[in-house]
Amino acid sequence: MTAQVWDGGPAAVLTVNAGSSSLRLDLVDGGSVVDSAHAERAMEPDAAREELSAFLGRHLDRDVAAVAHRLVHGGDLVRAPVVADDELARGLRELTGLAPLHLPPALALLDAARELLPAVPHVLCPDTAFHAALPDAAAVYPLPRPWRERYGLRRYGFHGLSYAWASGRAAELLGRPVADLGLVLAHLGGGASVCAVSGGRSLDTSMGFTPLDGLPMSKRSGAVDPGMLLWLLEDGRLTPDELRRGLERESGLLGLSGGRSGDTRDLVAAERDGDRAAGLALEVFCHRVGREIAAAATSLDRLDALVFTGEIGWDQPEVREAVCRRLGLLGVATPVRGNRADDGPVSAPGAAVPVLVVEVHEELQLARECLRELYGPAAPQEADRGP
């Protein structure tokens, strides 16, 4: 789009981040979060409108310059931040099968926000944008060419807002330009993935065509043998709906622990109490994370740091330590400290490969990308401040 002219006025941005079963609203002004609301439940259209209306009602005295919406998957339709309109919203509704847990609530929030704030631009910020320039070697699937061309089958990658923020913060913490760094980042949370970044650019990532690929997650399976899935669909063993529900809602840490929990905090406590299924869930998860980190590192010329982010990456030292114990071949040592109150290293001083933790701040990255899309180089500098 053609950049608008920045008039030097307030740059308050409402950020809307709809998860598969959660909603986070943040008001970002001057590069800082001035208010937040977080709901841990799926957002039906009426509930989404009520949450937004209540949040905005607390800020009637503040001008909102724009609304930034996290869009998990835009397919080939939305590859970079863009202002939403009716036509684009209709097109995205045809893509909900690509991310059935995420796109329907996000679109419900988009409709509600456009109704409540019709006079301001609504900018869609896709999680896939950070990976849009993946090298062909990483992005192209070994599938028949007609399939790939007809259906747009490629590795899209996700958690891009988190990776964009974390790679910039890691550069600040290391005191080096992001353009000079080779990093592997692990976003570990309810959804989980790994990404190799060189020069601020994504070179490889573990999630693929959908957010179901890659690492085991809280309730999602991650990558499993496609031959096994075909076998499960044969001879009436499972219906497609049963398979989808199992892979998306009953697998991952929840399935590994025998239905106990998809939350690593619960599983760490249960393992200490002797729960073998909880221990297995954590062991499988950490093994797979370590394997994906090692694989991602092969895309780099050198590994300057390993960065953990996401709720688990930031707040679960037992998981970080178990993952790093598997990475001695890369020069990664086991962290020497647990959780921090701020971003920074958890590895020993002088470590060959520093291990950093960066708190996830998708809301600040959303505001940053929104303002850059609207105002280009003239976007207010406050949008670029770190925490």
DSSP state of 274: T
Cβ atoms of 282 and 290 closer than 8 Å: no
Q: Which amino acid is at 365?
A: Q
Given the structure tokens 């061309």, which residue do they identify? 149
Query: Do 329 and 306 meet the contact criterion of CB atoms below 8 Å apart?
Result: no
DSSP of 94-105: TTGGGSTTTHHH
Is residue 370 a contact partner of residue 78, using CB atoms and an 8 Å limit?
A: no
Scanning the chain, the segments in alpha helix (DSSP H) are 45-57, 86-93, 103-116, 136-139, 145-151, 160-174, 226-233, 240-249, 252-256, 264-272, 276-297, 310-315, 317-324, 362-375
Tell me the three state secondary structure of residue 171: helix
Instruction: Please state, in angstroms and rounded to a whole number, the distance separating the CA atoms of residues 12 and 27.
Output: 7
Options 29, 35, 86, 127, the catalytic residue: 127
Long-range interactions of 318-325: CB distance < 8 A, separation 24+: 318/264, 318/268, 318/282, 319/188, 319/264, 319/268, 319/282, 319/285, 319/286, 319/289, 320/346, 320/355, 320/357, 322/282, 322/283, 322/286, 323/186, 323/286, 323/289, 323/290, 323/293, 324/290, 324/355
State yes or no: is 343 an active-site residue.
Answer: no
Distance CA 23, CA 15 (A): 11
Position of tokens 């180089």?
377
User: Please, what is the end-to-end C-alpha distance for the chain in angstroms?
Assistant: 29
User: Which residue numbers are catalytic?
Assistant: 127
